[in-house]
Amino acid sequence: MSLPTVAASAPGKVLFAGGFLVLDRQHTGLVFGLNARIHVIAQRWPNKEHDLKWSQISVESPQFKEARWLYKVGPCEPSDKHGAVAVQQIRDREDQGVTASSNKFVETTLRYVLTYLVHVLGDAVYENNLEVTILADDDYYSQTQSEGLATLGHENKGMTSTEQQPQFTTFGVKLSEAHKTGLGSSAALVTSLVFALLACYLKKNDFDNGTPLAQRTIHNLAQAAHCAAQGKVGSGFDVAAAVYGSCLYRRFTPTILEAIGEPTSADFGERLHRCVDDLELDSKWDVEVASQAVQIPDSLLLVMCDVDCGSETPGMVRKILQWRRDKNEEATLLWNALQQGQEDLGRELRRLVEVQDVESDFTTLGDIILTIRSLVREMSVKSDVPVEPPVITELLDFCSSIPGVVGGVAPGAGGYDAVALLLKNDAEVLKGLQSKLEGWKTQDTSGAKIGNVRLLGVKQENEGVQMEDPARYQGWVPAL
């Protein structure tokens, strides 16, 4: 089997409305894809260490220190011809620059994708060694903020993310030491790695054309691998955004993935294949991804802020769900109101897209965002979980008072680490926001404080996972 060189990228995300609600199939989440991307390049590796039964896969993130993982890949146990592919990390090659630390998202994704491919293609998958390179756009990590916030502004309309993408940055730290900004790097990594591997081994053109069948395969396999790496079946909105871009998302029934079982169980490969290809008649995929339902007019700009806050609250999701079980009637009324607010938000954004050439009044949009925030704060009080903590409330109120800023939220599950803002797409508004945030600090009576607020150089983008030209990664990828 001859393998082509394939490059793919997948976007980050922000769950602007529907945090916590997205866990329940009765509700939806409004997700914006972002132009910060994780890139994966896969190519044949001319490594002489190879035998007929086992191949090797090298995975490297050259932006980080000590970030090269080596795996050997071979058939499953002879007694279980439909089992999982064996993926074993080689840890005794540190003299060759190979790290001994594990990378569960990479290793799990390799195991799931290769198991699926062996079930489809047979043992030909083992014929070649493979070399994989992973690159991240700067804004996934807070110590390397983009200098040019001009890429957020209206002067770049019509340019693709590829045309705007600067050279990648050498972060200078180990991956474990890098501070993430919460844009969904694990989902983007898994999705782009799934895409690159499938396109490398299957028909590349099918994936290059972005057919619905290819998207479905990528989505289902990425959801399975990502949930397995996390150790739980989550809502999946982050993977959906990585595959499809901005969307209105309704989750899948968790038992669809739970039925696959563990890779160590008998016939795992058969169950994985049937799940990914949606062949189980009594367990069909019921995920709903409406890409056209989420739009932002050109007159508006989505801005993400990374918040340096000296507080965090672990277990927020668990506590919210416990409150919902204990106070079901109270929680149901509140969640239904939040769902209505989210629908109003989506409807108003679509209306603004339709009238953007003749109207630029964002008063109604700002009022809807304020209503959603009020409901979120009510949930914070009733559940005793700081979904919008007082210091974040103060920050959002301050930002919303700046001319041209329509409103903002504590995205996703909320908490202390980020805010998402909608503002007029005007360079002066952006400069004014950036200027007023410089040196802005606050502290509440609980001791929570904000020491720094950084604007990330990202903006909303509709496109999901996509094929890239490998030539753009020259200098970062061996032999390109």
Q: What is the pLDDT of residues 199-227, one digit of tens each?
A: 999 977 777 767 888 999 999 999 999 99
Query: In 3-state terms, what secondary structure has residue 17?
Result: strand
pLDDT value of position 308: 78
Residue 1 lies in a domain: no
90 and 224 in a single domain? The answer is: yes
209 and 277 in a single domain? The answer is: yes
pLDDT value of position 49: 67
Sheet holding 300-309, edge to edge: 405-409, 418-424, 300-309, 449-455, 442-443
CA distance 463 to 461: 6
287 and 318 in a single domain? The answer is: no
395 touches 307 (CB < 8 A): yes
Residue 440 lies in a domain: yes
Q: What is the pLDDT of residues 166-195, one digit of tens each?
A: 479 999 999 999 888 889 999 999 999 999
107 and 145 in a single domain? The answer is: yes
Number of domains in the chain: 2
255 and 387 in a single domain? The answer is: no
155 and 280 in a single domain? The answer is: yes
- Which residue reads 């079982």 in tokens? 261
**In terms of residue numbers, what domain contains 215?**
6-292+465-473
Check which CATH number belongs to the domain holding 57 and give it.
3.30.230.10
208 and 328 in a single domain? The answer is: no
* Residue spans of the chain under pLDDT 70: 1, 48-52, 78-80, 143-166, 209, 310-314, 480
308 and 343 in a single domain? The answer is: yes
Beta bridge pairs of residue 449: 443
Residue 480 lies in a domain: no
Q: Quote the radius of gyration of the chain (alpha carbons, Å).
A: 23
CA distance 51 to 340: 59
318 and 246 in a single domain? The answer is: no
pTM attached to this predicted model:
0.92
322 and 419 in a single domain? The answer is: yes
pLDDT value of position 388: 96
pLDDT value of position 474: 92
Question: Residue 50 has what DSSP assignment?
Answer: -
What distances in angstroms separate CA 155 from CA 9, 32, 138, 158, 425, one per listed residue? 24, 21, 21, 9, 10
pLDDT value of position 79: 63
Q: How much is the mean pLDDT over the chain?
A: 90
Alpha carbon 226 to its chain centroid, in Å, reads: 10
